[in-house]
Amino acid sequence: MLPEVFECPQCNRQFVFELVEASEDRSIYCPQCKRYLGEKDINFVLVTEIEELAERLRFERDRLEKDEAVYGMTDCDAEMHLYGTEVHKVVGILRKTLAELEALKQTYR
């Protein structure tokens, strides 16, 4: 299970809580001042991680699509022209991966 990091707004202490199984207590209290901070939620953590990963992958996909357009269609060095004509394979993988991540994210909502 993924750990979740919390910071108490009252005493500013940071601490890590391991996420729990459904049968265990899900309430989170600050170990120092005992203030109630919320509930442990594995689905929220997983959706957040998937969204952050998808955002990074979208950025790289967009960058590579621009590279493909620039180097694949313009007069440039042979190595860069080859890069521009082959980068579509990586873009295709990123598109497929993003679609799979989106489907996975929907299962946790």
67 and 93 assigned to the same domain? yes
Q: Which domain holds residue 77?
A: 43-107
Q: What is the distance, to the nearest Å, from the Cα of residue 104 to the centroid of all Cα atoms in its chain?
A: 12
29 and 61 assigned to the same domain? no
* pLDDT the model gives residue 22: 57
Residue labelled with tokens 């299970």: 1
* pLDDT the model gives residue 47: 84
57 and 91 assigned to the same domain? yes
54 and 100 assigned to the same domain? yes
49 and 96 assigned to the same domain? yes
* pLDDT the model gives residue 92: 94
Which parts of the chain have pLDDT scores under 50?
1
Residue labelled with tokens 């005992």: 34
How far is it, in rounded angstroms, from Cα 98 to Cα 8? 34
Alpha carbon distances (Å) from 26 to 18, 34, 37, 70, 72:
10, 15, 11, 52, 53
* pLDDT the model gives residue 28: 78
Opening angle at CA 105, ends 41 and 108, nearest 5:
40
Domain count, the chain: 2
